[in-house]
Amino acid sequence: MTWRLTSDVELFEKQAGQFLRSEPVRHTVLLTVVAALRSRGPHVYGTDDPILGWWTSPAGSVEGAMLQTPPYPLTLTEVPPEAVPEAAYAIADRGLLNAANLLVKDIPAFTDAWLSRAGGTCEAGMRSRLFRLTELTPPDPMPIGAARQAAPSDRALLVDWFSDFYDYIGERPSDVGPVLDDRLSGDGITIWEAAGEPVAMAARSRIEAAMARIQYVYTPPVHRRQGFGGAATTAATRKALDAGATEVVLFTDLSNPTSNALYPRLGYRPIEDRAVVEFSS
């Protein structure tokens, strides 16, 4: 039983791709990130090489995976209990780690192992909840306005909205342009307009293993509490289903009671809770 690490995206896909596709809902982040690395190059998320790993059983089957695209946190799938501390040891041998995104139950084992090997301190970061769509239930009544696909002419507005969204979650990249342009090129951003004015947005990932993830749900403060975010999410979800997704998922920030109350009303149900742990030397 061991972790195998690589920066070779094609090798990782060959070894761990079937495992990731076996549970596309729970492996949503790794599936979409690996797809981006394969289609847009290994440095699409930063100048450092990605770190990709898979855990093999004594029989040689893959039972877990992890991925880091520095400077973003390491993401670890569910793995056998013994693989959690071993993941920390394996990553520690590669250098410093700024943060890890883990299932809540795995935080103590990973954190203890990391600190014992690398030293330093840690503190809790954002807690999130993964939701899966069961049956789309639009708001009733729907707010005023209508949905439309974002166009290149919306780019200046969307740069501001994406930047505000990243500021909120504390993970703003140096340049939001590449992420925004990728979503625009794939018709992946839905804007809700009211009286001819854009008032909210919701994006979706490209479909991987028949799964799409709703992302970047954002309503400017001046337009909040009018149902626009729920309407945009509904429209983006329907767009994903129409495009062929059989599974649609999203994450919420557990500190935001508004979103955690909204998505169950739209037909999303909780799957698992995760949390980010931040490390410093």
- The secondary structure of residue 208, as a DSSP letter, is B
pLDDT of residue 54: 98
With 90 as the cut, is the pLDDT of residue 189 above it? yes
With 80 as the cut, is the pLDDT of residue 145 above it? yes
Task: Give the distance from CA 131 to its chain's centroid.
Answer: 12
With 80 as the cut, is the pLDDT of residue 156 above it? yes
Taking residues 153-177, what's their average pLDDT? 88
Half-sphere exposure of 94 (CA within 13 A, CB side): 23
Residue type at 19? F
For 258-279, write each residue's pLDDT tens digit: 899 999 999 999 999 999 999 9
Question: Is residue 95 very low, low, confident or very high in pLDDT (cuts 50, 70, 90)?
Answer: confident
Q: Which helix (H) or strand (E) holds 32?
A: helix 28-40
The neighbour count for residue 140, using CB atoms within 10 Å, is 6
Taking residues 183-202, what's their average pLDDT? 96
Q: Percentage of the chain surpassing pLDDT 70?
A: 99
Which of 74, 79, 77 has the alpha carbon at shortest distance from 91? 74
With 80 as the cut, is the pLDDT of residue 171 above it? no
pLDDT of residue 103: 98
Residue 188 burial (C-beta neighbours within 10 Å; 0-12, 13-18, 19+) = buried
Sheet holding 2-6, edge to edge: 2-6, 51-56, 62-68, 74-76, 99-103, 268-280, 121-133, 247-253, 211-218, 197-204, 189-194, 146-149
With 90 as the cut, is the pLDDT of residue 174 above it? no
- Higher local confidence (pLDDT), 245 or 167: 245
| Whether the Cβ atoms of residue 67 and residue 20 lie closer than 8 Å to each other | no
Architecture of the domain whose range is 133-272: 3-Layer(aba) Sandwich (3.40)
- Pick the range with the lowest mean pLDDT from 48-57, 174-183, 262-271: 174-183
The token pair that represents 42 in the structure block:
């290994």
How far is the C-alpha of 47 from the C-alpha of 270, rounded, in Å?
35
Interhelix angle 28-40/177-185, nearest 10 degrees: 90
| Whether the Cβ atoms of residue 50 and residue 60 lie closer than 8 Å to each other | no
**Three-class SS of residue 37?**
helix
With 90 as the cut, is the pLDDT of residue 178 above it? no
The token pair that represents 211 in the structure block:
């799964």
Say what the pTM is: 0.94
Taking residues 180-188, what's their average pLDDT? 92
Q: Which helix (H) or strand (E) holds 57?
A: none
Residue 150 burial (C-beta neighbours within 10 Å; 0-12, 13-18, 19+) = buried
How far is the C-alpha of 210 from the C-alpha of 63, rounded, in Å?
21
Taking residues 50-73, what's their average pLDDT? 95
